[in-house]
Structure 1
Amino acid sequence: MPEEPEIAALVLAAGQARRFGADKRLALLEVEGRIEPLIVRALRSWVEVFERVAVVLRPGDEAVRGVLSETFADRLRFIECPRADEGMGTSLAAGVAATAEATGWVVGLADMPWVPRAAIAGVRDALTAGAVLAAACRADRRGHPVGFAAPYRAELLGLTGDVGARLLLRRDAEHVVGVAIDDAGIFADVDTPQDLFSRSE
């Protein structure tokens, strides 16, 4: 029986959080009666789907690294992006470079703590089944996470700035396999302290 292709999980956590006013990754969030740092909550669904998750951080993110190591032990791999200040595209390129042997990547954001396990697993499964691009979606609106197969490796490695992979998904929209998820968590991120208390869509 052929082995399942190795799909890498990448969570981008190297942003500046300028609108939040502090390190939002460590801001406390209550979900289902549990209070914990936002980034811990965001990663819980990922470690339920993947045996190992790569997390892209800025250099010197020792506080975040410590919290995550304490919670998830050896389930995470930390990738430093020295040029993280340049934007999300640069962080994604660093993550892909560190996992270049993978046959695909499921990519998520550390400030999206409500993404359900089904969305992550669904995008992974779409790549495993042969999709070159995949994304969680609801009512024809694309959300997170998103997935890229190996043919996109070179373009992902070449990303710079703050655009991320949006341009690739837009340019090749006809190739995107949508993973239907009836949960607004695939859109909800945390940009301001108020977002901790209300899931914006």
Structure 2
Amino acid sequence: MPRHDSPTVIVLAAGRGERFARSGGVAHKLDALLGGLPVLEHVLRSVAASGLPCHVVRPAKGLFTQTDGMGDSIARGVAATADAAGWLILPGDLPLVRPQSLLAVAQGLVMHPVVVPLWHGRQGHPVGFSQASRAALMALGGDVGAAAIVRAHRQAETLLALHLDDAGIATDVDTLNDLAQAEAMFAARTAPQKARHGKC
């Protein structure tokens, strides 16, 4: 898929991460280390490896304010990239999402207005939206995400449910326990690579 025809990945990095703090986290969850790198850095590296355009939504004026709900973040990201071919909405707390999964969702948007990735029946991210959803996405606000848009397309049978073999699309880091689980999954994923590199 040529880059100019590709949807933009909107990485949501403006949330407060309150559940992570309540679970005992001393840093913001996107700054928490996983495999020696911050959670958000893993996400950004996956996006970079996919080759898709990217826009990161960070807190307004560098502060976590009451206007930084998911809906506000999505609306800001879409408004900032209004001429994009479409959008992949990716929360910044999914450090294990694979570049191939991003590309699969992007490819699904060629024929479908909305693409929802699934792992073992569980809905994950990124959710893909075509240009047709631009106005609806820009109208979002508060903590309400794009669920209503997805629901409308599901009812209209214009949604693609894309089954992917990638636990990373559904492995978010909301608590310290989530971080520990992601760390274990990351270690298991990288162990075979380390073993191969260690051979002569």
Is TM more than 0.5 here?
Answer: yes
Amino acid at match of 2:97: V
Question: Do the aligned partners of 1:107 and 1:146 also contact (CA within 8 Å) in 2?
Answer: yes
- Paired residues of 1:58 and 1:84 also in contact (CA < 8 A): no
Q: CA separation in 1, counterparts of 2:38 and 2:178?
A: 14
Taking structure 1 as reference, are residues 83 and 18 closer, same or farther at Cα in structure 2, changes over 3 Å only?
A: closer
What is the aligned residue count? 175
Q: Structure 2, unaligned stretches of length 5 or more?
A: 22-26, 185-200
Name whichever structure is richer in helix by fraction.
Answer: 2
- Identity of aligned pairs, percent? 38
Per-residue Cα deviation, 1:93-118 (whole angstroms, up to 9, x for no partner): 00000000112101101011111112
Q: 1:189 aligns with which of 172, 176, 200?
A: 172
Could you tell me the TM-score, scaled by structure 1's length?
A: 0.79
Choose which of 82, 89, 94 in structure 2 pairs with 1:100. 82
- Match runs of 1:13-92 below 5 Å: 13-21=13-21, 22-30=27-35, 35-61=36-62, 85-92=67-74
Distance 1:49 1:93 in 2: 23
Q: Is the 8 A contact 1:15 1:84 kept in 2?
A: no
4+ residue stretches of structure 1 with deviation over 4 A?
none
Deviations 1:50-99 (A, max 9, x none): 3531000003449xxxxxxxxxxxxxxxxxxx966341001100000000
What is the CA–CA distance in structure 2 between the aligned matches of 1:83 and 1:19, rounded to whole Å? 16
> What is the deviation of 1:4?
5.7
Cα distance between partner residues in 1 of 2:176 and 2:122: 25
Query: How far has the Cα of 1:49 moved from its partner?
Result: 1.1
Distance 1:52 1:158, change over 3 A: same
Whether 1:130 and 2:111 are equivalent positions in the alignment is yes
Alignment root-mean-square deviation, CA: 2.3
* Cross-structure match for 1:119: 101
Structure number with larger C-alpha Rg: 2
Does the 8 A contact of 2:105 with 2:115 survive in 1? Answer: yes
SS in 1 for 2:11: strand
**Structure 1 counterpart SS, 2:116:** strand
Q: Which has the higher strand share?
A: 1
Alignment-derived partner of residue 172 in structure 1: 153
Q: What TM-score comes out, normalization by structure 2 length?
A: 0.80
Match of 1:195, as an amino acid?
A: D
